[in-house]
Amino acid sequence: METDARGVFLRVNTPFCTWLGYEKSDLVNKRRLQDLLSMGARIFHQTHWAPLLEMQGSISELKLDVRHRDGSSVPMVLNVIRHGHGPTHTQEVAAFVARDRDKYEQELLLSRKRLEVQVAAVERLQAETKDRALFAEQMIGIVSHDLRNPLSAVGMGIQLLFRHAPTDNQARVMSRMAQSVDRANRLVADLLDFTVARVGKGLSINASAVDLHDTVAQTVDELALSFPGRALRHETRGDGECQVDPDRVSQMVGNLVANAIAYGDTHREVTITASVLSDRAEIAVHNWGAPIPRDKIASLFQPMVRGAVGGTGRSVGLGLFIILEIAKAHGGTVEVESNEASGTTFLAVLPRVCGVTKPDLPSAD
């Protein structure tokens, strides 16, 4: 179709008339194109169409609503080219109905709105979950901290009772009570460390020059009292001199041995090997028994994760999580090897001089 400079139709084709319900005689030399536009489209014609056409000489892909003779709206895409200049110029307009395109755009907008609603819901759930997790971890820290005082009181009471020459039967009962208090204290320590690691900035260490072999030996001796009837063997390699946090290393060894005793073969010994090499210190704890399934190893160090070993439940609790956090605090790592032939070995690898250099860690194949 073609209009003059004022928008009056000079010629129109049959499809355009059919789309809008007009005869050619109703439009040519009688109506302006802008008279057929919706109110919004007319405003656009005045504010954008005319200025753009004056500047560019053409306009492409204008999507506007054109009114049908019955008053309904027909979405159309228009392309306009100006011929000539001044008040005598003409405009050549190509139009096509864009109902399918309009429907697609509406569906796209609706999909976008639905997606925005879903994203907002997911973000809200994530925020709520994070708040609940933070609250739970803080509560664990508070409760475990408050448990220390009554446990200390029970421990002191047991020590006082031992001073009053108990009978053999009483001594056995008090020994079991003392072992239970020790286990509870270790659990409280793990809970507090878990809270610090998850809510705070990770575990802190106080590294000093120590003899790793002496530190591990002392820990193994204490563990032997806590696990009577289980064989613990301590092996050493290297001179033992390194710079680590002895308390954290003792805690690591304790958790590794407790894990090995809990899930290893009760009739075979647990071996603790301390090695000091040129650039790193290694602590390996080995036990015999059912191997850990390969698909469970990746999640072993996550807190409060349960797996399956030999058809029975294997709860890793917080112990392995704390072990890994201690290794990370030293700048090291922990690896696991487990199979039927050679048993299960947890290997903690730490820099020999903590905080100064990191070891060339072996690959975890």
Nearest CA-CA partner of 255 in 334, 309, 201: 334
Percent share of the chain, pLDDT over 90: 39
- In the chain, which residue ranges form alpha helices assigned H by DSSP? 14-20, 24-27, 39-44, 50-56, 99-162, 168-199, 212-226, 246-263, 294-297, 319-330
Sign of CA dihedral 114, 119, 120, 125: positive
Is the pLDDT score of 360 beyond 70?
no
Q: In this structure, are residues 100 and 85 in contact, taking their beta carbons and an 8 Å threshold?
A: no
Q: Kindly report, residue by residue over 84-95, the tens digit of the pLDDT.
A: 888 889 999 998
Q: Kindly report, residue by residue over 151-207, the tens digit of the pLDDT.
A: 888 888 888 888 888 888 888 888 888 878 877 877 777 777 777 776 666 788 889
Nearest CA-CA partner of 351 in 322, 335, 327: 327
**Homologous superfamily (CATH) for 2-97:** PAS domain (3.30.450.20)
First CA to last CA across the chain, in angstroms? 74
Q: Which token pair is 325?
A: 């956090």
Q: Which CATH architecture has domain 104-199?
A: Orthogonal Bundle (1.10)
**Fold topology of 208-351:** Heat Shock Protein 90 (3.30.565)
Domain boundaries, the chain: 2-97, 104-199, 208-351
- Going from the C-alpha of 318 to that of each of 98, 158, 191, 323, 365, the distances in angstroms are 63, 27, 7, 9, 25
Q: In this structure, are residues 184 and 192 in contact, taking their beta carbons and an 8 Å threshold?
A: no
Q: Kindly report, residue by residue over 204-224, the tens digit of the pLDDT.
A: 888 999 999 999 999 999 899
Q: Kindly report, residue by residue over 257-288, the tens digit of the pLDDT.
A: 999 998 999 999 999 999 999 999 999 999 99
pTM above 0.75, yes or no: no
CA 3 to chain CA centroid, Å, is 62
Going by the DSSP 8-state scheme, the letter that residue 302 receives in this structure is S
pLDDT recorded at residue 148: 72
